[in-house]
Amino acid sequence: MDRKTYTAELAGLRELRTEITAAEKQVAAAQKELDKLAARRARRVAGLAGYEDAKADAVAKASGLSVGDVVRIAPLLDPTPAAVRAAKTAAAAVVAAPAPAPEAEPVAEPVAAVAPALTRPAPGLEQPAPAAPAAEAPTEVGDQAVAEQPAPAAAPVVPAASVAPVAAPVRPVVEAGPRELPTLPEGPAGARFEAVTTGLVSKRPNFVQQARSTVFLDAAAGMLAVRDQVVRVDLGARTPGEILDAVLATAPGTERVYITAGAPWHDGAERYSTLKDAVAAWLNTPSERWTTAVGSGRDRLAGHFVHQRQPVGRYAPAAAPDSGSTEIRSMGEWFDPDGADVTTCRQAFTLLWQALRRHWDDAVLMGSPSQTGRDLWSRTIPATGKWAGGYPVLSEELRGLLHATGGQGRTELILPPRVPEQLPALVEYDRTFAYAKHLWKSPVGTPLRITAAAFAAMTEQEQTKALMSCSHWNVRVTVPAGWNHVGLLPAPVTGDRAWDYPAEPGATFTTWAGGAEVHLALSNHIAPWRIEILGGLLFEDGKPLDDWGKRLKAAWADLTNLSKLHGDERQRQAAYLASRAVRSVLLFGLGGFAQRPRLVSGTTPVGEALPAGVEILGQDDQVVTWQRQAGFSRDPNAHPEWAAYVWSGARAALLHTQYRQGKEIVGTAGALHARPGTVVYFGTDGIALTERQSWPYRGEVGDYLLKGHLTGPVEHPTSQEQYLTLRGQGRAELAAGGDR
């Protein structure tokens, strides 16, 4: 090939590239339109289920779906006779029942691989040998609270195969509860768990967010902060319509109203059975002038969001619903105003925007910290390098698995006899800006599935490297004999707790956990736990959150310093509130990556058929308010693998944290470095104990800060609510000079 031919071929490639790009855009547009049409069809199919004589076969023929697809969308249309369904259920129960153990036969590959104990106790970190367990098993831990209740994953549940019994003294086995976590299926079905969603990638935005006209309202005092002035407004009965009328009469064009005090959505709450019912009724208060916004344009969400304390109401003028909308939101989404007036709250927002603007030229404060956090993150997606085209979104099956198996922060109240009935003191430590400590490394790309056989075939060095990499493991866990400290790994349980942390010697359970937690269970300085690897997902180590985290940490540090050094008290308070808002941006922005299945709410006139699968939130004389899960959306910023990895690292750091000076380890902290029997409570990024610790505080992210000290004796709390009351008393005592 001569140079002339080469040049001509290059020119031809450029033309072909242009054609391919145009074709890709057409395909993406067509796929988007197809998704819209499919969603409309699903809504219509679900709506037809409300007709008493609707038939699945007729709906299937009209919609072009199979009868099975119709039944999955609208279970009420299932044509299977009830007796047949009952018989199938009974048969399934018989099949699921444990069969007699067969005689030993050779197997082709192991179903579990025992992970090695990674280290021996480090010099200076040894603790006295745990005392032998008492003959009587300890009381099972109860009354724990967690931040979430995971929904079942969409993936089929494959029972884990049995493994050879552990060669150890026989001890009682504590069942984690009947909730069974999904596993990775075999065969073609398992391929979707090692895949990404076609055509769905997190890309750097090519537009600038538009700021919304925002005001701040003290609904208790009727004080409205508009730009640089504060005016008094008459809110009437404090219904949404009256609030909007009063605000827009004073500040025309307002698009967002933050309520800083007064919580009007709780008015008349005593008339309702739950607080959620009261909030739903308030949001849907009838108005001649206002209607629920239906949404339009980028970032405009439709409908109300019902939450007990931080609801969102979205309204449009009844006469011109397409002319724009106004939101009513709670200031508590960003920070607890803690008595601050509307002027201070507005100033906090100004300082927050200024601090973020120093690190993002195009920073805009959106309606919630979650929206703001993810928008700011998207503007850190690299323009060069391997991920310049964006980060791929995992398959829906894999996202469902992570949703079901990757819990959030650890929240656990440890009860007697593991701790005393009478606490000598209640001492609270809180990790400063905790999650920011765990953003330097995150999983990226398509994961590699690791089977038990593959793990067993690795060298010990390779196994250690895999566990220390970005990974998510399905494991069978056994608490070592003689263990007398807190639990290390989460076990699935039913009910509101969702996750328990077994600590009884000999307890065995099967769970999923991140590499950070599994590594800690194998390498802790007290005694290594027995971990059998049933399978796992190994990701490539990347830094998708590192730049985002560094910028947020810098903004937080700026505001924290200002809150300590400014000469004006109001400015100090505003800077402190702004620093708390940065924390919310990171915390809820990270949670937004988890992309839980969507909750869609709506209203239906009384007497009309409700859509299939809805949960009724409330009802008045005119409408029924409901919500339902709508599955996973095609969200280009859905990355539950990032949230799960950070949450796992934060849970591990509650147990063991190292203080470093350069590369040198200069100290340790965490629950495992407190005496056994002194840990009372875990609360996401903090712990409470019965005695002070000598953990240093340097003001850096992840450090343990003494937040409260309640002098004893203190009656042990029996619920999370009682603990929170005692925690408030301990903070007040410490602030009043009770530090000893």
pLDDT digit string (tens) for 666-693?
889 999 999 999 999 999 899 999 999 9
Query: Could you tell me the CA-to-CA distances from 13 to 22, 326, 353, 388 in Å, in that order?
Result: 14, 50, 46, 21
Token pair of 249, please? 């009469």
Q: Which H helix or E strand runs over 676?
A: none
Q: What is the dihedral of CA 42, 48, 53, 57, to 10 degrees?
A: -30
The predicted structure's pLDDT at residue 602: 72
In this structure, which amino acid lies at residue 715? E
CB 298 within 8 A of CB 289: no
Task: Please tell me the distance from the alpha carbon of residue 155 to that of residue 535, in angstroms, as a whole number.
Answer: 15
Q: Is the peptide bond before 416 cis (omega within 30 degrees of 0)?
A: no
In this structure, which amino acid lies at residue 469? S
In this structure, which amino acid lies at residue 601? S
| pTM tops 0.75, yes or no | no
Burial (0-12, 13-18, 19+ Cβ within 10 Å), 623: middle
Token pair of 522, please? 């194998």
Q: Using one digit for the tens of pLDDT, what is the confidence trace for 527-539? A: 999 999 999 999 9
Q: Pick the range with the lowest mean pLDDT from 178-187, 478-487, 548-557.
A: 178-187
User: Is the backbone of residue 627 left (phi > 0), alpha (psi -120 to 50) or beta?
Assistant: beta
Cα-Cα-Cα-Cα dihedral sign, residues 484, 485, 486, 488: negative
Token pair of 491, please? 């076990």
Q: Pick the range with the lowest mean pLDDT from 161-170, 244-253, 308-317.
A: 161-170
Burial (0-12, 13-18, 19+ Cβ within 10 Å), 452: buried
- Model confidence band, residue 155 (pLDDT cutoffs 50, 70, 90): very low
For 446-462, give the DSSP string: EEEEEEHHHHHHS-HHH
Average pLDDT of the chain, as a whole number: 82
Q: Which parts of 581-731 are beta strand (E)?
A: 599-605, 615-619, 623-629, 657-661, 664-669, 679-683, 686-689, 704-715
Task: Please tell me the distance from the alpha carbon of residue 637 to that of residue 421, in angstroms, as a whole number.
Answer: 47
pLDDT at 317 exceeding the cut of 60: yes
Q: Using one digit for the tens of pLDDT, what is the confidence trace for 211-236? A: 999 999 999 999 999 988 999 999 99
CB 367 within 8 A of CB 312: yes
pLDDT at 710 exceeding the cut of 80: yes
Task: Please tell me the distance from the alpha carbon of residue 214 to that of residue 334, in angstroms, as a whole number.
Answer: 14
Q: Which parts of 391-478 are beta strand (E)?
A: 391-394, 411-413, 422-431, 442-451, 471-478
The predicted structure's pLDDT at residue 117: 78
Token pair of 721, please? 């609510």
Nearest to 644 by CA among 656, 633, 652, 655: 652
Nearest to 353 by CA among 367, 370, 371, 365: 365
Whose structure tokens read 């309202």?
A: 217
Nearest to 485 by CA among 509, 505, 500, 499: 505
Share of the chain above pLDDT 70, in %: 81
